[in-house]
Structure 1
Amino acid sequence: MNRTRQHRRGVVTRDATGSGSAEAFVLIAIATILITRLYLELTGYPQIGGGNLHIAHALWGGALMMLALLTGWLLIGAGARVAAVVMGGVGFGLFLDEVGKFVTKDNDYFYGPAAEIMYILVVVILVGARVLRDFRPLTGRECLASAAVIAGDGVARGLADRRRELGLALLVQAEQAGAEPTEVGPVRALLVSAETTSDRLHRLQQWVPRLIPGFFRSPRWVPVVGWLLVLSAISGLFFGLLGIALGGYFYEDDDITLRLDGMNPASVILVVNAAVTSMIAVPAMIARRRTDRLWPLRWLRNAALLFTFLNAFVDFATEGFAALLSMSIGLFTLAVLTYQIDAAVRRTAGEASESPQVPPGDHALQP
């Protein structure tokens, strides 16, 4: 029976680390859009070319996406995949930044609904990657295949210790899911015998947090940024719905100016985003007082990620550089939560190494 289940391949075979690459691709694309808009604003929207010639940066984006595909097709190894993700993310960001030109007759770069188009594409990619990863646990075949991919990288370029440990953890899960020992054994042998290489990216990830002053590494920041996120989301939802209900509202005197937008695509996106963020962040903040597990922090980070970057799309399109302040606050929140999650994972791993070995949990599958 186990062997029959093991050989049911299904429609697709998922990579255990694929969702992390997809999310990195989207984050790099978002950062590219924001950096591009900032650069163009500061430089007065220069024309690349001469005379009547203008080389749109969407073309550079297409070239980078082409290079990303070629890199993935032609080269083997984790480094090649990282390069493909970076080039693809930058290329997609440059392409998506000019979407307004492709959906208007007059090639309007500042076309208002371009922000909504970006929003939809980003949500589709992020949600699609999450659904594909989480709609059911990885099968034994998928764990075995993912470990075999890592082993293949080891044959080609060697393995960093972190990648080797990930591959071995996947094999443990594959065995628990019914993988045949005759299939697991050769993959494990390749993982164990692969040459050890340095992991520059992992070292960089470990080095960067050391630059953060100790004051900002305190766990006391978690409730501060968490409840500020909840307050921002709920207030955004309240005032957004109020503005839509009133059909827009504007008040100004010597001391205060209040403007509430009526029904329009941007206000609807902000309201929906605030509602979803509230539904994620409020349960996470309540749960983190009742459990030491990591999922409340991860939910909170997901809420901050959604609220920060999707709001930034609309804010930069409608408010210009006024969006930089809220963007900076959101990035600070993300940095605090990410650091605390990484610290908790390291503590959990340290406790596990001092106790009898247990099957790895979901954290072992993160890239």
Structure 2
Amino acid sequence: MPTRAVQAASHLQAFVLSGVVTVLALRAYLEATDYPQLGGGGLHLAHVLWGGLLLAVGLGIPLIFLGEGARTAGAIVGGVGFGLFIDEVGKFVTTGTDYFYAPAAAIIYVAFALLVLLTQAVRGRTGRSQLTSAERTANALDVVLSGQPAGLTDRRRAEVRRLLRGAEPAVEAAVEQLMDAMPRREPPPARFWQRAAGLARRLGAWATRQRWLVWLGVVYLVVEPLVVVVAVLLDGVTGELDQEREWGAVLGVTATALVTAVLSLRAAWLLRSDRLEAFRFFKLALLVNLLFGQVFNFTVNQFAAVATVALDLALLGVVTAEHRRLRRAANRGDRTPR
């Protein structure tokens, strides 16, 4: 069995994020510039070609160069290439090569949603506790060797020692001796994206501690799916649904909203008697909406659905944090966590 990399999930996450940013930035740019085309004389250089080129470059970087930096760079460049590629999926699932094919946005969303699920699955299988002793040793050696010739920071040395916990004493001693041979390097200054990520984590931690924000999210989860169902019914009564081209997607949005509403109402009913179970239902309602409802929402509303996904992801973070807090309190024996 191939040796698993402890940083695999981080590289996949970089791939996914760079792909998502590429699609959103590209769509915004094309909308702002009225969809210009490269080429002339009957030629059109579609950006799917540039996507394929960047995918090849992203694959080539870690094949040619050694080290963590090369793998990260390959993941980011490959993610940009994948974003350019998947953005033109509408042209390749329609006989008329229709870039504006309505379900294309949903297909793009599904592709990235599956990649996110893959990332989470990999994260669960490549944590330090999931790797064998031999795999942890191999990852520790990879970290050490990546420090040649630039050197190893104190943080990287500490990471190597964590990976070696539980290894044979002779192996630990050999790796320590190898680390001693490596030059010591000062940590580089924080990049702007690292500062932004740190700010986002602090903001998220602050948000999950605000009780009013948690309850505002609860109200939204109960009311929003009911509003969607009522809006569809009103459009049916007024005849506006007759102008809708994507009937299947509208039915999908309505059905998912009904399921989400039932789960949210069940959760609201449980709030007084079993808050831990209530927030488990709220989390389930959000997952149903993100994994199913938003697929149909993207078909109906195209990329305008991005704002709804962003809100649902933020709520999922808040609800998940509250569910974990309640579970920890229940494990401590506190029957009425506040």
Q: TM-score, normalised by structure 2?
A: 0.68
1:131: how far off? 2.1
- Give the % identical residues: 32
Range that drifts further, 27-36 or 162-171 = 162-171
Contact 2:153 2:186 in 1 (8 A): yes
* Counterpart residue identity of residue 144, structure 2: A
1:332: how far off? 7.1
Q: Take 2:25 and 2:291, find their aligned partners in 1: how far apart are those partners?
A: 13
Which residue of 2 is the match for residue 170 of structure 1?
Answer: 163
Report the CA distance shift for 1:267/1:123 in structure 2 as closer, same or farther (over 3 A).
Answer: farther
* Counterpart residue identity of residue 160, structure 1: T
Which residue of 1 is the match for residue 172 of structure 2?
Answer: 184
Unmatched segments (≥5 aa) in structure 1: 1-10, 253-258, 291-295, 341-367
1:28: how far off? 1.6
1:89 correspondence with 2:73:
no
Which residue of 2 is the match for residue 264 of structure 1?
Answer: 248
Report the CA distance shift for 1:151/1:238 in structure 2 as closer, same or farther (over 3 A).
Answer: farther
Contact 1:249 1:260 in 2 (8 A): no
1:184: how far off? 3.1
Q: Take 2:85 and 2:151, find their aligned partners in 1: how far apart are those partners?
A: 35
SS in 1 for 2:152: coil
**CA RMSD of superposed structures (Å):** 4.7
Unmatched segments (≥5 aa) in structure 2: 322-338
Contact 2:106 2:302 in 1 (8 A): no
Task: Report 1:191-206 matches (<5 A).
Answer: 191-197=179-185, 199-200=187-188, 202-205=190-193
Q: Take 1:115 and 1:133, find their aligned partners in 2: how far apart are those partners?
A: 27
Cα deviations by residue, 1:209-266 (Å, 9 ceiling, x for unpaired): 7878x9998457654554444444454544566788x6x84467xxxxxx99996247
1:208 correspondence with 2:171:
no
Report the CA distance shift for 1:99/1:151 in structure 2 as closer, same or farther (over 3 A).
Answer: same
Q: Tell me the number of residue pairs that the alignment of Structure 1 and Structure 2 aligns.
A: 302
1:143 correspondence with 2:131:
no
Which residue of 1 is the match for residue 330 of structure 2?
Answer: none
1:41: how far off? 1.0
Which residue of 2 is the match for residue 152 of structure 1?
Answer: 145
1:87: how far off? 0.4
Report the CA distance shift for 1:215/1:204 in structure 2 as closer, same or farther (over 3 A).
Answer: closer
Q: Take 1:306 and 1:13, find their aligned partners in 2: how far apart are those partners?
A: 34
Report the CA distance shift for 1:87/1:264 in structure 2 as closer, same or farther (over 3 A).
Answer: same
Q: Take 2:94 and 2:52, find their aligned partners in 1: how far apart are those partners?
A: 20
SS in 2 for 1:154: coil
Q: Take 1:199 and 1:170, find their aligned partners in 2: how far apart are those partners?
A: 20
Contact 2:55 2:82 in 1 (8 A): yes
Report the CA distance shift for 1:231/1:88 in structure 2 as closer, same or farther (over 3 A).
Answer: farther
Q: Take 1:183 and 1:260, find their aligned partners in 2: how far apart are those partners?
A: 67
Bigger Cα Rg: 2
1:319 correspondence with 2:296:
no
